[in-house]
Copies of this chain bind each other. A is one copy, B any other.
Amino acid sequence: MIGIFDSGYGGLTVLKACMKLLPQYDYLYLGDNLRVPYGSRSPETIQQFSEDALKYFFDKKTPLTVFACNTASAAALPYLQEKYLRKPGVIDRKVLGVIIPVAEKAAKMTRNKRIAVVGTRATIRSKAYEKELHKLDPSIRVFGVAAPLLTPLIEEGWHNKPEARSILKKYLAQVKDFAPDVLILGCTHYPIMHDVFEDIMGKSVLVLDSSTAVAESLADYLKRHPEIESQLGRNADAAQPGKRIFTCTDTPEQFSEFAEKFLGGEKVIATKVQL
């Protein structure tokens, strides 16, 4: 079973990309929609909430867990890696975040060495993308913009309306002045507005969707780590999809309805769990 953790609904974009690229594995999704949104909370609170989620996956013994949430990856994962994961002998508790795979892809793609990041307040404040990009190439210049209204607009289904486009245009005004050639969508909700981002930024800017980057990185990781790969549950017929289990921390009916619509065709019956 591969664990996928998000603060709410956004991580479904990552799950969708993973299920497309690696359909044969079993997936366990957890959306902490009882305490969503994480993006405007303090670092200590994000660490505490993410630790609760991590313990849930430890309890479920998922050999590999993906922190699909940019905010949790940026503001909590380094702390949790230190506390739980970088211990000698700990081999059955692997956690992949979204920051490193996306930063690696962005660093590979940029030509003018100017990369912009759009994310939640907490993700931008953490400078997590900047730190990873500078590890890869200290000459890269990074510009981050918090876009806190995008998530509610997308969750409310307003992403195709002119008001959402107009708000995004205002958020991106300074990004355009910065003139990057890669723009990182640093929140799992944003791929839903991928086309609008592309349209506003123009053809010369690559809009980097974290969900695909994470799925590709997961596939690569599993190739390089057969000792983890062999522990994952899967469908015996590799052409057939594995099990999908959906859990959330509030309003399971609402979660199921949203997830079903979003994943398109997948039957979803989410269970409420307590963290």
- Taking a contact as CB atoms under 8 Å apart, the answer to whether A156 and B148 are in contact is yes
Complex contact B163–A156 (CB within 8 A): no
A166 within 8 A of B: yes
Majority-rule SS of A interface residues: loop
Q: Is A153 at the interface (CB under 8 A from chain B)?
A: yes
Question: Contact string, A120-157, partner B, CB cutoff 8 A, digits 1/0?
Answer: 00000000000000000000000000001100110010
Interface size on A, residues (CB 8 A): 17
Contact call A152/B148, Cβ cutoff below 8 A:
yes
A34 at the interface (CB under 8 A from B): yes
Are A251 and B42 in touch, CB under 8 angstroms?
yes
Min distance, Cβ A151 to any Cβ of chain B, angstroms: 8
Q: Which of A148-190 contact B (CB under 8 A)?
A: 148-149, 152-153, 156, 158, 162-163, 166-167
- Nearest B residue to A45 via CB reads B250
Q: Which residues of the other chain, B, contact A194 by a CB distance below 8 angstroms? A: none
* Interface flag for A41 (CB, 8 Å): yes
Docked pose: A167 CA to B250 CA in angstroms: 27
Residues of B near A148 (CB, < 8 A) are: 152, 156
Given contacts A149-B158, A152-B152, 5 further A-B contacts (CB under 8 A): A45-B250, A45-B251, A148-B152, A158-B167, A163-B163
Binding site for B on A (CB under 8 A): 34-35, 41-42, 45, 148-149, 152-153, 156, 158, 162-163, 166-167, 250-251
A-B contacts, 13 listed (Cβ < 8 Å)? A34-B41, A35-B35, A41-B250, A42-B250, A42-B251, A45-B251, A148-B156, A149-B156, A152-B152, A158-B167, A163-B163, A163-B166, A163-B167
